[in-house]
Structure 1
Amino acid sequence: MLADEQEEKDFQRFLRRVDDITNLVEGLKSTDPATQEKALAESEKRLRGQEASEEEECKTKVNRTVINTRDSVNGFLAVWEEDAKERAKRRKRNERLANALKEKGNDAFRKGDYVTAIQKYTEGLEKLKDKQELYTNRAQVSIQK
């Protein structure tokens, strides 16, 4: 029973540390400069081991690397935002191409050229896989054949 109690204490200590680290990370991500500075100072203090108490004495040694969080977070967000813009541009271009192929397929369908209609709808789906009208139109052509 003594081992179980010690495991429970260790587990509870671990959970408290996780909560503390989560709060530090939230502070570092804050938009308030004062909150960021406070969290940065607290994390530096912890990294230097000034806050380690006898109860929370760490059993392992850690090789730590200090990261400039402001630059790395801002850089990551900038890259992420640029990627989102690029994906949106690509989606719009593919949507225009899929719509044009849908119209060509519709024209072929009206003329009774079912093979060309299916081909155009399939090409449109290659450009934009989630365009439901192309699936529906292609199925309708298959029924008409």
Structure 2
Amino acid sequence: MEEEFNNFLQKVDEVGSIINGLCSKNPQELEKAKCKADILLSDDKVFDEESLKVKLDKTVINKRSSSETPGGPEMSPDAFMAYAEKDAKERAEARRENKRIADGFTKKANTAFREGDYDKALDLYTKAIEAKRDSWLLYSNRALTYLRLGLYNRTIEDCDNVIKLNEKNMKGWLLQARAYHLLGDFSEADHCIKEAKIRNPGSLAHIEEYLQQWKEAET
């Protein structure tokens, strides 16, 4: 019983922390609270609405004064749950809509790239990224487009984004290596190749094949 009660108090503290965050005027704290709310509401074992509601009514939440909730009045458990669920649904819908928009631009960009219209492809990939900024694939596609346009520093920047999102991404490392090589920075190019090999030991043959293509393109 003691362990169960301690676990419950921990959950109450989590809810209280999220409520405080949702009332914060700091955008970063507000976003953190929204993410925590998503996690809390997606875990059935953590958030049992009925049992938690009864326990909250009998213990900590009702005893907290409004002064303990910065940025606004005390939020009841029901109000918190309603707000968090509504907010999570709205943001999930926004993510789906952004993905739909990004997919539309990506399809057109891929067509333009295959046709050799790199300026158009660049514009469309950029619009896709604006709609969906967490896609390493979009950044790698735009990096390759920058490479074809001779914009090697931009290629390197987009490859940095690829690697931040997926540090094992072989394409990101090799495109970056190629861009450094074309800029004459052979030391950085070698570093990127080594990283690609270290992080993708099962793809060494593909890496060597790609490097061989470099040599053939330069002869």
Return the TM-score normalized by structure 1: 0.56
Structure with greater helix percent: 2
Computed over aligned residues only, the root mean square deviation of the Cα atoms, in angstroms, reads 3.6
Aligned to 1:144: 148
Are 2:56 and 2:77, in contact at CA under 8 Å, matched by a contact in 1? no
1:39 to 41, 59, 66: 59
Aligned to 1:6: none
User: Secondary structure at 1:31's aligned position in 2?
Assistant: helix
Instruction: For 1:109 and 1:65, locate their aligned partners in 2 and report how far apart those are by CA, in whole Å.
Output: 58
User: Aligned partners of 1:119 and 1:38: how far apart in 2?
Assistant: 58
**Alignment pair present for 1:76 and 2:96:** no
CA–CA distance in structure 1, aligned partners of residues 148 and 128 of structure 2: 20
Segments of structure 2 that go 5 or more residues without pairing to the other structure are 1-7, 16-50, 68-73, 150-219
User: Is 1:115 paired with 2:135?
Assistant: no
Question: What secondary structure is seen at the aligned counterpart in 2 of 1:100?
Answer: helix
Distance 1:37 1:133 in 2: 48
Match runs of 1:117-136 below 5 Å: 117-136=121-140
Runs (4+) of structure 1 exceeding 3 A deviation are 35-38
Q: Which has the higher contact order (CA 8 A, sep 6+)?
A: 1
The CA distance in 1 between the partners of 2:98 and 2:66, in whole Å, is: 44
Secondary structure of the 1:129 match is: coil
Letter matched to residue 119 of structure 2: V
**Which residue is 1:90 aligned to?**
94
Give me the whole-angstrom Cα distance separating, in 2, the residues matched to 1:37 and 1:117: 57
Query: Considering only CA atoms, is the larger Rg found in Structure 1 or Structure 2?
Result: 1
If the length of structure 2 is used for normalisation, what is the TM-score?
A: 0.38
Instruction: Find out whether 1:104 has 2:103 as its counterpart.
Output: no
Q: What amino acid is the match of 2:145?
A: V
Residue 36 of structure 1, CA deviation: 4.7
The total of aligned residue pairs comes to: 101
Between the two proteins, what is the percent identity of the paired residues? 35
